[in-house]
Structure formats: structure tokens, C-alpha cells
Structure 1
Amino acid sequence: MMATSAQPITQLLRAWEAGDEAARDSVVNLVYQQVRAIAASSLRGAPGATLTPTEVAHEALMRLLDTDAAWEDRRHFFHVVAQATRQILVDAARRRQAGKRGGSVERVEISAAAEQLPAEDVDTQLLRVDDALAELGRTDQRRARTVELVYFGGFSRAEIAAALEVSEGTVDRDLRLARAWLRVAMEA
């Protein structure tokens, strides 16, 4: 996922933070394809979504460009991308559900699987997952962050382990326990 070299991105993030607009543009150019891949990965898990990977990537980058975040490094940047991607998908699901209660929303199908599930069910499920993940985050932030990095960030086990400063075995255990916890929370 994060194949782009860490050193130049981290240096560019620091320059951007110091106010260098050219560095900001360079970061966007360097990471665009990775951000789009993150968006595509997230959308594969959300059949019935009405956004394209390009739209999600553009929205995520626009949100990042509008922030005054103090970037620690490349990993931190991509973690924020994962959070932005999750929020974009949740916001879109909420808008679609609100549209069903009185407004009109133009649908753009992104996969054949979308035809098999009514969008309302997908939106409801995504919102329930978001609520359950937020609840998990209140009791166990590391496990919630691990799930977010995998499903909304496209991080590998090794990348998650490095980002969270834990072993890959811990990442595996956290994912197993978080999935079980989320499954129970979703059934309740």
C-alpha cells in the first residue's frame, strides 16, 4: 500500500507544515495513486456505494488540504487518509438515507454486487459498522485503529505493526478480537 518512499514524503510534509505550497502540491502528486487505491479498497467492501474511488480520493485529499494538521510522518499522513475515507463513506451513507426520507439522490453504481443488495441495507450496515467501531474505539483504541487501518486505509499487517509499534502477531490478535467484538455489537 505505502510503496512511496518515506523519506521524501516526510520531508515534504514538514515543508508543507512550514507553509511551503510547492511541497503541498508535491505531496499530493506523490500520494494521489495510493490515496485512490485506498479509496478503491474501501469501496470494494461497500457494495451499493454511490461514490467512485476517484471521487473519494479527491474528497479525502481536499479535506487534508484544508487542514492545519501537524504531520508526524508518512504513516501518520496515511492514517489520516484512512480516517477521512471512512468519514466520507459514512457521510455519503447518511446523505443517501436522508435522501430516501424526502430528497432525491442520483445513484452511480460501482459494482455488479451493488445490484444484489438494496442501498438502504448497505448504508444501514455501514452506519452500524461506524457506530460499532466508534464504540470499540472508546474501550480499545488500538483495536479500533487496527480495523480502520486495514479496512479504510488498506494497510498491510507489517505497516500496521510499524505504525502502532506492536508485533504482527499483536496485529493479528487485535484483528481477530476486534472482528469478534464488532460481530457481536452488530448483532445486538
Structure 2
Amino acid sequence: MSELRITELLQAWQRDGPGAADALARQVYMVLRETALRALRRNARGGLQATELVHEAWMRLEQGQQGFQSRAHFYSVAAQQMRHLLVDLARQQASAKRLGQAVTLTISLSDGAPRPEALLMVADAFDKLARVDERTAKAFALTDILADVGQLAPAIALQRSLADCRT
């Protein structure tokens, strides 16, 4: 699918074009699922599947329908939503633990996967960095989820040649 076609679908979706949401979802689903798989590998959350993460992120994207300027901008916002969802889940798990509620341990939480507290510490560090340098914080947050610098560069409006120099 060409970038132009996805951008056209994004524009139609934002105008509430008939069938645009379904057509867009079909076109971008695999990329969003790959992004979710990467996010879950790096920030494993017990019981959460990639499909669930994609669907939750999609619902947030539908609610917020920002003015997406391009495919890269859309994927960037989707990746950020996935990260926010994982941080929210970690906060819920940490809160349940503090309140003495039972926390179900799954194999993904006991096999060396990051603990919710670790994810919250990283999220807090990103928040502090964002107050100092928002663009750098966004770049670090997205490199945690996006596959390569080719996806990161347009997401933070960085020229590809400069992005290649920094890797």
C-alpha cells in the first residue's frame, strides 16, 4: 500500500468518510500489530496480546482523531498510544500490589520480563526528559517501539541522513 493511499484514507477517516475507518484499519493493521508485538516484547504485560493492544490503541485513536499529516505521523501517534496503554496497565498493576490485592503472576512476569515498577520508572524518566527536551524524549520513547530509524525519522521530523548519522 502506497504512502499516498494511506494518507488519503487518513484524510477521509478524519472527515468521517463512509467506510474510511474500516478501509484504513485493513490497510494499517499489520504494521500496527508488528508495532504492538515489539512493544510487548520490550515491556511484557501479563495476559495482554498484541491484538488487544492494537484494538485498545485504535479506540484511543478514534476518540482523539488528531490531524494526521501523513502515514508516518499516524504510526507515530499509534505507537505513543500503545506505550501509554502499557504504562497505564503497569500503573494499575502497581496500584493493585500496593493496595494488597492479589496480582496474578503469569510466565511472562516471572521469566525475566520487566516488572510494572520498572516500566513506571522508565515512564517517569521520559516525563522528566520531556519537560527538558520534548523532541528527544519523543525520540527515545518511539525507539522503544518503532522498528528502525527509518520509521523514527519522519515521526519526529528528522531528516533521514541525520538520523542515519546518529545510529
Name the TM-score, length of structure 1 as normaliser.
Answer: 0.77
1:103: Cα distance to partner? 3.3
1:22: Cα distance to partner? 0.6
Equivalent pair of 1:146/1:171 in contact (CA under 8 Å): no
Query: Does structure 1 residue 46 correspond to structure 2 residue 39?
Result: no
Instruction: Name stretches of at least 5 consecutive residues in structure 1 with no aligned partner.
Output: 176-188
Instruction: Name stretches of at least 5 consecutive residues in structure 2 with no aligned partner.
Output: none
Q: Quick one: structure 1 residues 14 and 88, their matched pair in 2 at CA, closer, same or farther if it must change by over 3 Å?
A: same
Report how many residues are paired.
Answer: 165
1:166: Cα distance to partner? 2.5
Report the Cα distance in structure 1 between the residues aligned to 2:44 and 2:122, rounded to whole angstroms.
14
Query: Does structure 1 residue 137 correspond to structure 2 residue 130?
Result: yes
Give the corresponding residue for 1:159: 151
Report the Cα distance in structure 2 between the residues aligned to 1:8 and 1:107, rounded to whole angstroms.
44
Report the Cα distance in structure 2 between the residues aligned to 1:172 and 1:93, rounded to whole angstroms.
34
1:161: Cα distance to partner? 2.2
Equivalent pair of 1:9/1:74 in contact (CA under 8 Å): yes
Deviations 1:109-148 (A, max 9, x none): 4x4xx3234x7x6101100101101111121222211112
Q: Quick one: structure 1 residues 145 and 155, their matched pair in 2 at CA, closer, same or farther if it must change by over 3 Å?
A: farther
1:8: Cα distance to partner? 0.9
Q: Quick one: structure 1 residues 62 and 105, their matched pair in 2 at CA, closer, same or farther if it must change by over 3 Å?
A: farther
1:170: Cα distance to partner? 4.2
Equivalent pair of 1:6/1:74 in contact (CA under 8 Å): yes
**More displaced, 16-25 or 43-52?**
43-52
3-state SS, counterpart of residue 73 of structure 2: helix
- The alignment yields a C-alpha RMSD, in angstroms, of 2.2
Report the Cα distance in structure 1 between the residues aligned to 2:165 and 2:136, rounded to whole angstroms.
10
Query: Does structure 1 residue 81 correspond to structure 2 residue 78?
Result: yes
Report the Cα distance in structure 2 between the residues aligned to 1:83 and 1:7, rounded to whole angstroms.
22
Report the Cα distance in structure 2 between the residues aligned to 1:130 and 1:65, rounded to whole angstroms.
24
